[in-house]
Amino acid sequence: MTNSIRPLDGITVVSLEHAVAAPFCTRQLADLGARVIKVERPGSGDFARGYDTRVRGQSSHFTWINRSKESLALDLKQPEALDALMELLGQADVLVQNLAPGAAARMGLSYEALRAAHPRLIVCDISGYGADGPYRDKKAYDLLIQSEAGFLSVTGSPDEPAKAGISVADIAAGMYAYSSILSALLLRGKTGEGSHIDVSMLEAMAEWMGYPLYYAYDGAEPPPRAGAAHASIYPYGPFAAGDGGAVMLGLQNEREWQAFCAQVLQMPQLADDPRFASNALRNQHREELKAQILEVFSQLSAAQVIERLDGAAIANARMNDMAELWAHPQLAARARWRDVGTPAGDVPALLPPGVSSAFEPRMDAVPAVGQHTRAILAGLGWDEARIAALVR
C-alpha cells in the first residue's frame, strides 16, 4: 500500500550542474521526493539541452535526466545573482556541482568556504579526477575517462577497442554521488552536521573495473577484447540463427554444458569431447566449438533456438534494438511507463528501478530554462522590482 510520503520529502538540493553525471545524480534525488533547484545559464541553460533534437525537438540526454526539477536561471558572474544563490543555500540541505575544475571554489562555493555559515549543508563535488593529485585540473569527458580507466582496453573486438554505447563513466560517477548523498543525509541525522563528498569519475570507473583489474593481478595477462562475447567463459555471447536473427546465451557450469549439448544442440556426445571438457578448455578451443554451435543454429530460427534454450534452462536473451526495448513486453506487463511533461508536451518515461511498496516515485515535468526563476526568488522574499532587475 503506497502513501503520499516520499523518503526525501522536505530535502532541498541546489545543483550547479550540466551534462550527465550531476544531473543523473540529482534526478534520482528528485525521484525520491527532494526539491531539486537546477541553476542554469540564462538563455541557453545546461549545454546538454543542445545535444540533439530527438524528443519533440528537445535533447534526449536532457529529457532523460532532468525531470522533476525547478530551473533557476542565474548569471553567476553578476554579484546580485551570486547573492541570490547564497541566500538559497541558506535554505538548502545539499549542494551538488560538476562545474569545470576549480570554478565553484573561485565563486566561494567550496565546502570549506560554506561550512561556517551552513554547518548542516552537504556539499558534493563531482569531477573527472578528484579534488587533489596531479590530474586535479585536467578536463574530463566520458570517453576520456573510459580510456583513462582502462575500459577501452577490455571492450571491443580483438582488432579494435570500442567505447560503451552510453555515458558509462558519467553514469558511474552519478550513481556514487547519489548513494554518497543518501549516506551523508543519514549521517547528518546522527551527528547534526553536514559533510563534503568528493566524487571522481576516474575512481568510479576504476571501481567498476574491479574484475579485469584482479584478472590481471600481479602482472598477469589482462582479459582479451572479445566483442559481445565473454572474455573468459564460453559459450557466452551472441550466436547467429538461420533466419538472420541472433541469440545471446550464457553457460555458467558443467551441468548447463551437459544440458546444452543434449537438449539444445541435440549432440550429447559433444559433452564428452576432451577439447570441451571444462570451461577453460572450451575457452581455449572456442573457434572449434563455435563452428559446431553455428552449424546447428543455422538450421533454426532465433525463436526456435530460444525455445530449446528455455527448455534446457539455459540463460538467454534476445538482441533487442531500441524499438524493441520501447515495446518490451516485460516493461509493459509491470506497468513501468508513465507520462511526464516537457516544454514540448508529454513524453513517456520509465519509473526508476526499485519498486517500493511504500511510495510512488516522483515523476514531474522537465523544466524550460529559467521556468521557476521568479517563483524561487519570490520564495526568498525578493520583491518584484528586485527580481525584474536581476532578470534584466
Catalytic residues: 230
Grid coordinates belonging to 354: 526499485
Q: How far is CA 133 from CA 16, 96, 105, 139, 204, in A?
A: 23, 21, 17, 14, 16
Q: How far apart are CA 379 and CA 155, in angstroms?
A: 50
- Do 155 and 164 touch, CB atoms closer than 8 A? yes
* Burial of 233: CB neighbours in 10 Å, binned 0-12, 13-18, 19+: middle
- Do 125 and 154 touch, CB atoms closer than 8 A? no
Q: Which of 181, 168, 190 is nearest to 36 (CA)?
A: 181
**What does residue 88 show for φ and ψ, rounded to 5 degrees?**
-65, -40
Q: How far is CA 47 from CA 18, 40, 52, 65, in A?
A: 7, 9, 11, 13
Q: How far apart are CA 361 and CA 264, in angstroms?
A: 42
- The 3-class SS string of 261-281 reads HHHHCCCHHHHHCHHHCCHHH
220 beta partners:
none
Q: Chain centroid to CA 295: how far? A: 39
Handedness of CA 54, 60, 66, 68 (dihedral sign): positive
Grid coordinates belonging to 122: 552537504
Tell me the pairing of strands 246-250 and 337-340.
unpaired
Instruction: Please tell me whether residue 175 adopts helix, strand or coil conformation.
Output: helix
10 Å Cβ neighbour count for 344?
Answer: 14
